[in-house]
Structure 1
């Protein structure tokens, strides 16, 4: 997905990519190779005629009257087609000095000086220059430069040797930090465009290039590499979208935070995707004639100009230690007006009750699972779900976790009998019934369709025999959802039936705790020995089990992302606040803050897609993969930050927190296994999202 989510932005991006492709940016870059004075005048003229540099210029000055997010969408599209010459510099200048640069999109190029490099030096008529007092707008002739071709063949820079500031015009309310922040904001959008092209190019090639008689995209190694590119590209896109959104909101502290997340995420991410693109392309990607190296060159140049990842990470640590977090505001555009008063009244009634009475009240009001149909929820659409989340958060009311019931009940609601719904759904929501899930087996984990637990027809029901494993809550559950094979003579997926098993009253169930690497026993093995399950505990029809196991309610859950970061990330921030960390350690904490924030942003973007009435995007799959990495890496970082103390400690009162940190680090190792291994999920992402062959 590109930066833009709305229909307007999607159309703008598609239109500009189509238009920019006709410019043949890579061809122009090659033609100008070795010409240090190349200003790419024809490309700039075409950009001006298309109105791209003036998208954010006020309408009274002949511009489009757009905002930073409109500009970001355009920059992403132009970078996707590698449009050469000045564009990024003039856009940054227009943002910082809108009144003083108005009209220059037609009359000339206004660019900038950063770290003694003049951007667009051969063609810039005026330049923004930082000094101790702020920013000056000076004539290009007042800046002496040594022309450079540099790494990026699609741009030109000049090494500044002298600046005559005497005739410069002061830019009010802006300084060097503002210049860098604005440059990061818009360069992040370019990084997203570069990453998108590299991902699309690699996937397209992997789908048609054959080796050993098969498309290389069918090889798991290539599929995983492309899926990892997708993860990086989505992270870059989310961070680029967010920093442009923050620039438009007017909250300087939030924009600072978003810019530092982008600086940590976007430029390294674009470089990584560009390198992986060349790897997938193989020998052809290493040739000068292929465009891939031009994208790598621009990505590397952007990172060199604006990356400074460790500095940005350090600022993120300082910000988070002081209590700052990224708080994204969702603009519901008045669509919440019709539902918010009633929701607020319902939430207030729940909040007025003692804590122990709130769960029942949430269930009665349909607030616990609002996306489910009445009487279990409110049949709430995306807008109402977001409003409910906002009002519950404002009132300080937390929903209880329904755990495995979250998998069991949707199937019963959608496919169960009236008697099953009456018997199980509301009592489970109230916490009166605890569920476990008897799906995984020793030989059927990620490959669940190969399960061997069998169910044999008997009078009045079925007899189940087999072994299940990795079953959490089995030692405490009242009921279980269980998949068993009822027909061994049909294809694997068709011979499975979905059962509800009474874990308390059924004879023949043996639950054996499994001690995990944490030393605890949260999982269990469950042995089923001729366990009787009556017909009224079969959900839907025999043979429907595989279809039912994949059930989601038609009205999908839409969640409003909070500002709290992953648990271990917050713990790492606590350790940073306590002091004593070295510079490299603080930078590591800042990087986990950035990744945790990106994971939150993926959720926000998924919510916005739902609010726009769009189908699911890749964010949810990528969020799972990146979220696992974030939680595992952050938990390991927390332990690493405590050095030798982790080698010998006692989990007594004096070391209780360290013991919990170690337990969390060990426990998170299961995250890349549970619910489908990371490797299997990358296969799924490669095939279902990227369209790679099986």
Structure 2
């Protein structure tokens, strides 16, 4: 995933990439004099980077902040030198605030770079007898400051925070260059002594600080992605102990974690550049809380994977670490943004995520009328009505569903929520039905689909065994041919609802003489069949949630085989991959909202920091799901991204449950719903494939690391 979502943005990124390659900008980033960036400054202006988001009537390209973010992401990816962020954001700020056009033009054309200070300042603006504004103050470290930079500085005017534009070439302005860890990012100490102000900046896009950080976040997204690219490319080629190091689980998991960070950073950078100005404060805080660290951590892990090679001056990896550290410094560190995330989220409770449904929108009135009829029924009759009308599972083909597109499914979910209709949870039925629809005979379809949708049949899953959990293909339950069917013998473990399910989807080995994946058959098992013994297992919550199931010479007729004999592994993978389109209604879920409510009474800085981090993680994860939904609406097929999202979602929910207990103080160890949630969430990183196995899968399927 990248920030770019339109063809124009992708083309703009490609233009930046081509410019960087042609100009060999990476060598400028390595130049310790700190002045090499000037070599590419004018050509970069010719490329149009500085005026991307500046209105056309102010001399810019008239693009959006999202267009600018896409280009800045590529600037980070290519490590283009110079005060690019401050100049692009400075040009945008000044173009909409009454600053004389000559200053905007100077930034857009590359004649003058811009610098932006931190919002924390003791500087003061006074109104002189001549009606002009004068600035006095000291700024220890200003991002982008050099001798020729136009200065955008924070101050207080009549006790109110403000921002002003100042020219540096005046007697009462001192700009002292400061050596930085990033040689290609100028910064300086600025002292102003009663200096005339060019103009006061009143930002119409949100706060100056938020826009400045939004630009830095976009660059950080590019850095995080580039470091991932470097590390994975190396892991595919480097050999140790006779193998490519990318085959080692330790390397796969390091790369997988880098991918998680890069994906979150890209989603957040895209979001903060795309939202309305009123939603930007929370979006910016969440983005900075995660993306700044993502760039630094990915650069560090990149060096780790490269080993001694990464520790050499000649390799580029340390240059990305230098840039990431510098950006995090100028953003004020990630800690203040974690605190700001939880504060801003408390204030507005998150926000709704908008989806443009396109042509599907024309169906809304019809769907609303249909669902109003369902909503008028008694609760006990709603499931049957939803099933018979195709609204319960609209993704299924007619007559079981409505063959609804992704956009239509979202619309139906929206209208169900509006009508106050809760979609019945078929539990394992959601897994069984699509596979039966895919491979079932006409009689099987008639026998199982309608009754399951209407709630007349319930299901459990008999896949896992004592010796076959994540390695499901190692199952040993045996199915032997018998007159008219098969005899099953073996043991299944961990299924939920096995004590009350009517039917089970069951895998058994029907051929022991072929490779393990090929000799498996998919059965539909009547749970009332003689020879089935179900023994409940008590979970760590204290409840009998799980079961073990013993199959002793259980007879299954031939008409209960789903698909072809020995083709069960393919169908099992289809079952595990089946995924309905769920509407992601907002950026924060109930557990996180509860955590924020508890944090209001918290005065522990460490725990507040954790609360902010988890709130930002919730926002990032919701945005990843939202971006996946948008990709599905464009026709993309679901892939390993779902596994990545599960890893991140489970991790966040487990940490939220634990911090919730901590915030309750002495009450945290009392038996109650919070303790129950904490213990319950421990299953999330085990069920459906352990988090560690999923991380290896993500590294192999999304990054192409060797199996």
TM-based fold match above 0.5: yes
Taking a change above 3 Å as real, the CA distance of residues 555 and 503 of structure 1, as seen in their structure-2 partners, is closer
Pair 1:276–1:553, CA change in 2 (3 A): closer
Match of residue 73, structure 2, among 62, 69, 76: 76
- How far did 1:307 drift? 4.6
Q: Is the 8 A contact 2:349 2:588 kept in 1?
A: no
The equivalent residue for 1:54 is: 51
Aligned mates of 2:624, 2:544 — CA distance in 1: 33
Contact map agreement 1:26 1:154 (CA 8 A) in 2? no
Residues 683 and 271 (structure 1), Cα distance of their counterparts in 2 relative to 1, 3 Å cut: same
Cα distance in 1 for partners of 2:639, 2:41 equals 34
* 2:431–2:578 contact (8 Å) kept in structure 1: no
Displacement of 1:617 in angstroms is 6.0
Q: Which residue of 2 aligns with 1:688?
A: 701
Structure 2 unpaired stretches of 5+: 121-138
What is the CA distance between 1:400 and its match in structure 2?
1.7
TM-score (norm 2): 0.92
How far did residue 385 of structure 1 move?
1.7
Q: Would you say the 8 A contact 2:73–2:218 is kept in 1?
A: yes
Partner Cα separation in structure 2 for residue 40 and residue 89 of structure 1: 14
User: Could you say if the C-alpha distance between residues 151 and 625 of structure 1 is closer, same or farther in structure 2, counting changes exceeding 3 Å?
Assistant: same
Structure 1 partner of 2:199: 169
Give yes or no for the alignment of 1:236 onto 2:265: yes
C-alpha contact 2:587 2:618 (8 A) present in aligned 1: no
- Give the 3 Å change call, closer, same or farther, for CA 124–368 of structure 1 in structure 2: farther
| Pairing 1:97–2:94 present | yes
CA contact (8 A) 1:53 1:87 kept: yes
Q: Which residue, out of 334, 357, 368, partners 2:392?
A: 368
CA distance in 2, matches of 1:560, 1:95: 35
Q: How far 1:552 sits from its partner (Å)?
A: 5.9
- Could you tell me how far apart the structure 2 residues matched to 1:150 and 1:226 are? 29
Give the match's secondary structure for 2:39: helix
Asked if the contact 1:468/1:525 (under 8 Å) is kept, the reply is yes
Q: Deviations over 1:137-192 (max 9, x none)?
A: 111224422211211122110012225442331223579x8121111111110000
Matched, 1:336 2:360: yes
Quote the residue 2:564 is aligned against. 541
In structure 1, stretches of 5+ residues that fail to align are 652-658
User: Contact between 2:432 and 2:575, CA under 8 Å: does it hold in 1?
Assistant: no
Q: Residue 677 of structure 1 corresponds to which residue in structure 2?
A: 690
Structure 2 residue 593 is the aligned partner of structure 1 residue 570: yes
| Pairwise CA distance, 1:581 | 4.0
Conserved? CA contact 2:591–2:657, under 8 Å: yes
In the superposition, the TM-score normalised over structure 1's length comes to: 0.93
Q: How does 1:620-639 map to 2 (within 5 A)?
A: 620-639=642-661
Q: Distance in 2 between matches of 1:365 and 1:15?
A: 51
- CA distance in 2 between counterparts of 1:497 and 1:646 reads 47
Distance 2:636 2:686 in 1: 30
Match status 1:112 vs 2:116: yes
- 1:348 aligned to 2:372? yes
For the pair 1:148 / 2:178, whether they are aligned, the reply is: yes
Larger mean CA deviation between 200-209 and 613-622 belongs to 613-622
How many residues align? The count is: 674
Partner residue, 1:30: 30
Please name the residue that 2:167 is paired with: 139
Secondary structure of 1:374 counterpart: coil
Corresponding position: 1:224 with 2:226: no
Q: Deviations over 1:88-123 (max 9, x none)?
A: 001221232224354231142233222523332225
Partners of 1:348 and 1:395 within 8 A in 2:
yes
1:403-442 superposed matches below 5 A? 403-442=427-466
Q: Secondary structure at the match of 1:498?
A: strand
Measured in 2, the distance between the counterparts of 1:152 and 1:519 equals: 55
Cα distance change of structure 1 residues 298 and 559 upon mapping to structure 2, 3 Å threshold: same
2:679 aligns with 666
CA RMSD in angstroms, aligned pairs only: 2.0
- 1:585-616 deviation per Cα after TM superposition (whole angstroms, max 9, x unaligned): 22221211111111111100001111222344
What is the CA–CA distance in structure 2 between the aligned matches of 1:645 and 1:548, rounded to whole Å? Answer: 47
Distance in 2, Cα, partners of 1:663 & 1:607: 32
The farther-off stretch of 351-360 and 211-220 is 351-360
Does residue 414 of structure 2 align to residue 385 of structure 1? no
* Structure 1 CA distance for aligned equivalents of residues 12 and 419 of structure 2: 40
Aligned to 2:37: 40
Equivalent in the alignment of 2:664: 642
> Matched residues in 1 for 2:532 and 2:164: separation?
79
1:287 maps to 312
1:510 aligns with 2:533: yes
Change (3 A) 1:344 1:307: farther
The 8 Å contact of residues 349 and 593 in structure 2, kept in 1 or not, is answered as no
8 Å CA contact 1:350–1:362 kept in 2: the answer is yes
The CA distance in 2 between the partners of 1:554 and 1:313, in whole Å, is: 35
What secondary structure does 2:611 align onto? helix
SS at match of 1:141: coil
CA distance in 2: counterparts of 1:342 and 1:235, whole angstroms: 37
Q: 1:73 to 1:62 in 2, by over 3 A?
A: same
Q: Matches of 1:215 and 1:163 in 2, distance apart?
A: 61
| In structure 2, distance between residues paired with 1:322 and 1:174 | 21
Q: 2: distance between equivalents of 1:124 and 1:375?
A: 70
Is the 2:30–2:319 contact (alpha carbons within 8 Å) kept by the matching residues of 1?
Answer: no
Q: Which residue of 2 aligns with 1:592?
A: 614
Q: Answer yes or no: is the 8 Å Cα contact 2:466–2:492 preserved in 1.
A: yes
Q: Which shows bigger deviation, 197-206 or 353-362? A: 353-362
SS of the counterpart of 2:497? coil
